[in-house]
Chains A and B, each alone.
Chain A
Amino acid sequence: MEPITILYVSFLLLVAGAIVAAATSRLQRFCSWSSLGFVSAASIGLLYLAIYVFTKGSITQPQPLLSLPGIGASLSIGIDALSALLFLIISIVSFCVTLFSIRYIRRYERESLLRFYPLLLLLFASIIGVVVIRDMLFFIVFWEMMTLTSWALVVYERESKISLRAGLEYFIATHVATGFIVLASVLLYSHSPGPSFDFDALRASFEALITSNPALVHLILASFFIGFVTKAGVLPFGFWLPNAYPAAPSSGSAAFAGVVEKAGIYAIVRVFCTILPISAYSQIWGVVIAIFGTFSIFIGTMSALTQDDSKRLMSFYAIGQIGYMLLGIGVGLYFLTINPALATIALVAGLFHMINHAWFKSCLFLNAGSILYRTGTRDLNKIGGLFSLMPWTGITAVVASLSIGGIPPFNGFASKLLIFESSIIAGTEVGAAIWVKALFVILGIAAIFISAVTLASFLKFLNSAFMGKLRGVEVSSMSDVPLSMNVSQGILAFLCVLFGVVPLLPITLVYKAISGALPVGICPTSASLFGKVWPGISVDFGTAVTSGVWNPLWVIVAFAIVLGLIYLVVRAGGAKVRKVETWYGGREHIPADVSYRGHSFYMPFKQVFSFKVRRVQFQGLYPTSLPLPKVTMPKGLRLLLHPDQWFYYPIANLFMKLNRGLSKSHTGVPQMYLLWIVIGAILTLVIILCLR
């Protein structure tokens, strides 16, 4: 079987699964399990394709599926290493999410499954479309399909005002973003040879425009940037994210954070690395991307410190971590012309963080979902001590939290290491402008600082939810979360550990993705960049000297040895163990008096970063509610737009008056009519005589 056929089959399986789920939506168990079956089959296909592409090279189609020569578009498909990387993410995250949903969706008794599973499967199908299409028109089609299906998931709870408001914001914001993408594509198309919407034609168009109309190139790039970045959730364009992600069912949120956001990053890499030729524009936009990325990191994570709702907390993290990816990509884009080694490493770092983020962020959303499932609340102030009730969720939450905080030896550390090193070593590059170097170093330091803040906030999450005394759960439901939910979380946590302990493996895959996306010959070889000391990495920024290292294997060995030694020392001490009560200073108290709520944790920070600008309250650098703009139509305009009032009706009335006036001449008296006849006859005679 041709590899490309497997792609079609996977896509069709998902569509078929959506139809089956729609037809059987009343039979809950059958619907859930059949959806899982379809998704697993599609995921296996995608994994196979990913492995095929990574080992044997990219796949192209002999003939496009559908051709619209009238508009220069065709449904052309190609799977290169970058798409394969996304396939990896899509397959695993979709499987875990669907597995999780099987039991989770039972929480929503009032809502029909008809609006969940079919849309979830269509969401996965449209994302597959987004990452393989090589034609801009159809790219936009699948992009909007992705938005449509995810909107439907956000407004799943139809009666909740918050969900509805969130869904509205989401769809409108992303539709405006799509408008920008349409504008940019159409502008590019009109200057392309053909004209055509194919990516290669668009690249030729860029090459022509760079010499003839530089301002237009900036406009096009800005439109693309705004369009994609809104979807990825980068502040300030991603203002919809903290409202929209919590509103969807948790498995839906996990799918969004794990896959939909990545589509935005994929699109940015595709446009700025593949379609845009490497030039001064890459540099300028590299700086812009890096700045927006760090802005997002900073605001997102600082605001997360003040959140008490578990899913809203995760959403702010999603915003923050996307910023890391953009920082890496931005630094990479800048140095493409100056130092390809540094550029490749930075781009690899950004994309590596993308794949790591997919694992740990989806796991965290699923954790929040498990907590919600068991306790019925998202408020971190109301729950506590869940570790004893849900140990497996707790362990995966710890693993995912440590990964997102960047603690070695988990995967977050490996990607963050590369991002920090790229931005700091950028400061030593001779060929770059001094202010850019300073900027990148500052951004890198800010990113390191925020990494600590991320860790801090996750500790708050872990503490509020899992540590302490058990609270917030009724005695009757003292059972663990269902196995299916545990397994899905476990798979993702395992991947976090795996990618952390053996970082060279995913880095090689990401390297293949980047070297495939960039023009051929730009990137130095993987061995020269990352070293061959398996499983660790020793990073060489093109100076033939390694500038940074990380070898998890030996560090873990040392850790184990020292741990053993210390343990022996403790055992040698021979201390006995005794259980006691917690000591509260010797005073009488009730548990409620002495419990330390989550929101007290970072009170000093909250106080420093809360302020009010006019009528908008900012808490932790983020506005708590955006007032809706009130639009009233000025009276003059309203009048102008109703021509009835000032034109038609007055004229009609005038006619009526004229009519009435004329009808007065019909008095009904025969003598008047006789008079008219006589006058008429005289007039006619006069006219005939004059004309003679």
Chain B
Amino acid sequence: MLGLLFTLLLVPLVGACACYSLKGRKSDWIPAILAGITLVLGIIAVMWSYPQRTEWLLEQLTWMETQSKLFGFLIDPLSSLMLIVITVIGLLVVVYSGAYLSPGNKDHAFTKPVGNYYFWMLLFIGSMVGLVISPSFLQLFIFWEMTTICSWALISYTKEEGALFGGFKALIMTHLGGLCFLVALVLLFVNAHSFSFNALDSLEPGMRFTVFILLLVAAWAKAAQIPFFTWLPDAMVAPTPVSAYLHAAAMVKAGVYLMARVAVSNSMLSQGAGLVLGIFAVATMIVAVILYFIQDDLKRLLAFSTIGHLGYVLFGISLGILGSTTGFEGGVLHIINHGFAKGLLFLSVGAIAYATGSRSIKELSGLGRKMPLVSAAFLVGLFAVTGVPPLSCFWSKFMMFTGAFELGTAVGTTLGILAILESVIAFAWYLVIGHRVFFGKVSEKATVATPNQPRAISITLIVLMCLAFLAPLIGYPFVKYLSVGCFS
């Protein structure tokens, strides 16, 4: 098993180096094979370890005296869940990129060689895998910063002015969060001499709160919550598969994963901490939904939606800290539900951009007639994300609403009502957008759309549509073993 996890980590990292110099046709399917191998290994690891939690602590640094070993591997239901999201969507995105990064792309014609792209992409997959199987904060931090760099490189891939600026902005903002993470690590070491996840429990309350807030700021920066949310919409200049993967399914989820890990491993977090987390999460949701109304670019709209939904996950985690297990489970389940649904939405928008060259809501209309599969995919993603049963996000959202009201306190009830309100408003606006873009008379920009997408794109969309239904079934078996403080 240890060897399995080791291979799981190494395959994408080494494969990235191998892909760097690929040219020609090979550059399409070798990365896909590597991502596929990662997926298979990941699934095997998940199934083998379910439902126990296993840890292999291997090494420690000779010059740092800590109470437990630093480096190694950890696999438990929470990391299994994340592993599934990362590897599945990773494979799909790599396959999709094979078709997307071609000269036929009307949005931005990509010329070969694209080995560079796959290098960063596989490196990212590797870093995310490393992040979720880390057994301590230190190892997690190392991979955290690696993902920041991959994100910078991938956003700036096209080397245009806007892309370079977007990448730089993302780098600075997430790195500032990383600095807060570093300060938190230092504080942990100084006060608890340990980097393990349950180290917060052994701190005294004031210090615990401070470390928690620092980690929270890091998470906010990574997950684009208030007040650090401005980098994500600007990062949408990245090629769409990058947006789908990094900025919807994986990298931003690292931030909420950190918070979930903290909650799962520490049972003595204070109510104040939970309140701060919850209030900011709901505030993020509200701000995100208000900003929906002025967006014209489909990808920016989806970016704000991602911001809102990450708020949901943090809301669920805060409910867990405040005392409701159902809310916590809902929040963590939302990670996988939202990942698949938002991935589906981004990839369909990518297909639209590929075929018509436009992402503007004003310019597009009547696409349903021209691109039936893509519109079906978008509509399924729309309903999945806004929480229409029986699709995925309904279940996690409902669990969170239940959790909020289960608390019985005024705060819980208020936050719950705000969350329901946000859900309904978001649905209304999404539906209006869906109607505008896909129904109605075929607009100018839409007439140039070719009805046949490359097969890679169609297959990816169909797989994700199925996953939009199945996500809760996949996620719930893991989530039901989680609650606040269960691994402390």
Q: Is A–B contact present in the complex under a CB 8 A cutoff?
A: yes
Residues of A within 8 A of B (CB): 68, 70-71, 137, 140-142, 144-145, 148, 155, 158-159, 161, 164, 167-168, 171-172, 175-176, 179, 182-183, 186-187, 189-190, 195, 631, 633, 637-638, 641-644, 647-648, 652
Query: What are 8 sample pairs from A and B whose C-beta atoms fall under 8 A apart?
Result: A70-B480, A159-B366, A159-B369, A175-B428, A179-B420, A186-B401, A186-B416, A633-B293
Which residue of A is nearest B423, CB measured? A179
Q: Contact at B383–A168, with CB atoms within 8 Å? A: no
Pick the interface stretch among B38-46, B402-410, B449-457.
B402-410
Residues of chain B lying within 8 A (CB to CB) of residue A172: 427-428, 431
> How far, in Å, is A654 (CB) from chain B's closest CB?
14
Interface residues on B, range: 35 or more
Decide yes or no whether B290 CB sits under 8 A from chain A: yes
Q: Are B230 and A175 in contact (CB under 8 A)?
A: no
Q: Is the CB of A183 within 8 A of B435?
A: no
- Distance A161 CA – B435 CA, assembled complex (angstroms): 10
Q: Are B394 and A186 in contact, with the CB atoms below 8 A?
A: no
- Known A155-B435, A186-B404, A187-B405; further 14 A-B contacts with Cβ < 8 A: A70-B325, A70-B326, A70-B476, A141-B390, A148-B388, A159-B369, A175-B388, A175-B428, A186-B416, A189-B406, A190-B406, A631-B293, A642-B230, A648-B173
Query: B230 near A648 (CB under 8 angstroms)?
Result: yes
Q: Is the CB of A182 within 8 A of B398?
A: yes
User: In the complex, are the beta carbons of A140 and B389 less than 8 A apart?
Assistant: yes
A234 to B285, CA, bound (A): 33
The contact of A161 among B388, B432, B440, by CB within 8 Å, is: B440
Q: A366–B435 Cα gap in the complex (Å)?
A: 28
The answer to whether A641 and B290 touch across the interface, beta carbons within 8 angstroms, is: yes
Chain A: CB-nearest residue to B229: A643
In the bound complex, do residue B406 and residue A164 qualify as a contact, i.e. CB atoms below 8 Å apart? no
Establish whether residues B480 and A633, one from each chain, have CB atoms under 8 Å apart when the complex forms.
Answer: no
Of all chain B residues, which has the CB nearest A151?
A: B431
A641 partner residues in chain B, CB cutoff 8 A: 287, 290-291
The CA-CA distance from A158 to B435 in the complex, in Å, is 9
Interface-central residue, B368, B431, B439, by most chain A CB under 10 Å: B439
Are A190's CB and B389's CB within 8 A?
no
Residues of chain A lying within 8 A (CB to CB) of residue B435: 155, 164, 167-168
Verify A158–B383 contact, CB threshold 8 A: no
- Cβ-defined contact, B405 with A189, below 8 A: yes
Whole-angstrom distance between the alpha carbons of A148 and B440 in the complex? Answer: 19
Contacts of B388 in A (CB 8 A): 144, 148, 175
B230 touches A643 (CB 8 A): yes
Q: Could you list which residues of chain B lie within 8 angstroms of chain A, going by C-beta atoms? A: 172-173, 227, 230, 287, 290-291, 293-294, 325-326, 329, 366, 368-369, 383, 388-390, 394, 398-399, 401-402, 404-406, 408, 416-417, 420-421, 423-424, 427-428, 431-432, 435, 438-441, 476, 480
CA A179 – CA B326 in complex, angstroms? 19
Min Cβ gap A162→B in Å is 11
Q: Which residues of A contact B432 (CB under 8 A)?
A: 168
In the assembly, what is the distance between CA of A633 and CA of B172, in Å? 30
Interchain CA distance A644-B294 in the complex, whole Å:
16
Contacts of A190 in B (CB 8 A): 402, 405-406, 408
Closest-by-CB residue of A relative to B288 is: A641
B296, chain A: closest CB distance, angstroms: 14
Q: Decide if B293 touches A158 in the complex (CB within 8 Å).
A: no
Interfacial chain B residues near A155, Cβ < 8 Å: 435, 439
Give the docked Cα–Cα distance between A187 and B420 (Å): 13
With A141-B389, A145-B390, A190-B405 as given contacts, are A182 and B420 in contact (CB-CB < 8 Å)?
yes
* Residues of chain B lying within 8 A (CB to CB) of residue A158: 366, 368-369, 438-440
Chain A, Cβ-Cβ closest to B432: A168
Partner of A195, one of B230, B398, B406: B406
CB–CB B424/A137 < 8 A: no
In the complex, what residue of chain A is closest to B413 when comparing beta carbons? A187
| A187→B293 CA distance, assembly (Å) | 31
* Most chain B CB inside 10 Å of its own CB: which residue of A142, A145, A179, A652: A179
Task: Please determine whether A148 and B401 come into contact, CB atoms closer than 8 angstroms.
Answer: no
Q: Note all chain A residues with C-beta closer than 8 A to B440.
A: 158-159, 161, 164
> In the complex, which residue of chain A has the Cβ closest to the Cβ of B408?
A190
Cα of A158 to Cα of B442 in the assembled complex, Å: 10
A148 touches B293 (CB 8 A): no
Decide if B428 touches A633 in the complex (CB within 8 Å): no
Tell me the complex Cα distance, A633–B404, Å: 30
Complex: A175 Cα to B425 Cα, angstroms: 10
Residues of chain A contacted by B291 (CB below 8 angstroms) = 641
Q: Chain A residue with minimal CB distance to B329?
A: A70
| Min distance, Cβ A90 to any Cβ of chain B, angstroms | 20
Find A189's partner among B287, B402, B441, B476 (CB 8 Å cutoff): B402
Which residue on B lies nearest to A644, using beta carbons? B230
Given contacts A168-B431, A186-B402, A186-B405, whether A643 and B294 have CB atoms under 8 Å apart is: no
List of B residues within 8 angstroms of A137 by Cβ = 398
Residues of A within 8 A of B438 (CB): 158
Q: With the chains together, A161 CA to B436 CA distance in Å? A: 10
Bound together, the chains give a CA A70 to CA B5 distance in angstroms of 31
A533 to B290 Cα, complex, angstroms: 65
**A642 contacts across to B, CB distance below 8 A:** 230
Contact residues in A for B383 (Cβ distance below 8 Å): 148
Could you tell me the distance between the alpha carbons of A145 and B390 in the complex, rounded to whole angstroms? 7
Q: How far is the CB of B436 from chain A (nearest CB, A)?
A: 9
Q: Contacts A631-B293, A644-B230: A164 and B439 contacting too (C-beta < 8 A)?
A: yes
Looking at the assembled complex, report how far the CB atom of B192 sits from the nearest CB atom of chain A, in whole angstroms.
Answer: 33
Residues of B within 8 A of A638 (CB): 294
- B420 near A183: Cβ-Cβ < 8 Å: yes
Cα distance A459–B404 when bound, in Å?
A: 55
Given A161-B440, A190-B406: A144 touches B294 (CB 8 Å cut-off): no
CB proximity of B63 to chain A, nearest CB, Å: 27
**Complex contact A144–B368 (CB within 8 A):** no
Are A144 and B293 within 8 A (Cβ)? no
Instruction: Kindly state the separation between the CA atoms of A253 and B476 in the bound complex, as whole angstroms.
Output: 38
- Once the chains bind, are A633 and B406 in contact (CB under 8 Å)? no
A268 to B240, CA, bound (A): 47
7 tightest Cβ-Cβ pairs between the two chains A and B: A141-B389, A179-B424, A190-B405, A186-B405, A144-B389, A172-B428, A158-B439
Neighbouring B residues of A182 by C-beta, 8 Å: 398, 401, 420
Q: Which of B399, B423, B439, B480 contacts A159 (CB 8 A)?
A: B439
* B394 cross-chain contacts in A, Cβ below 8 A: 141, 144
A646 to chain B, nearest CB (A): 11
Contact between chains at B326 and A71 (CB < 8 Å): yes
- In the assembled complex, the Cα of A137 lies from the Cα of B173 at a distance in Å of 41
- Hey, which chain A residues are within 8 Å of B405, CB to CB? 186-187, 189-190
CA distance A633 to B291 in the complex (A): 9
Which of chain B's residues has its CB closest to A187's CB? B405
A183 contacts which chain B residues (CB < 8 A)? 401, 417, 420
Residue numbers in B under 8 Å from A68 (CB-CB):
476
Min CB gap A56→B, angstroms: 32
Alpha-carbon gap, A409 to B431, bound state (A): 47
User: In the assembled complex, which residues on chain A have CB atoms less than 8 Å from the CB atom of B476?
Assistant: 68, 70
Instruction: Write out the residue numbers on chain A whose beta carbons fall within 8 Å of the beta carbon of B416.
Output: 186
Residue among B287, B390, B424 making CB contact with A175, cutoff 8 Å? B424
CB nearest neighbor in B for A183: B420
| The residue from B390, B417, B431, B439 contacting A171, defined by CB atoms under 8 A apart | B431
Bound: A71/B480 CA distance, A: 10
Q: Which residue of B lies closest to A186 (CB)?
A: B405
B233 to nearest A CB, angstroms?
10
Report chain B residues within 8 Å CB of A648.
173, 230
Residues of A within 8 A of B417 (CB): 183
B399 touches A71 (CB 8 A): yes
For A195, the chain B residues whose CB sits under 8 A away are: 406
Residues of A contacting B408 with CB < 8 Å?
190
A55 to B296, CA, bound (A): 61
Q: Which residues on the B side are within 8 Å of A145 (C-beta)? A: 389-390
- Residue in A145, A187, A190 with the greatest tally of chain B CB atoms within 10 Å: A190
Q: Choose one: A142, A176, A631; the contact of B424 (CB below 8 Å).
A: A176
Tell me, rounded to whole Å, the shortest Cβ–Cβ distance linking A180 to chain B: 9
User: From residue B225, how far is it (CB to closest CB) to chain A in Å?
Assistant: 12
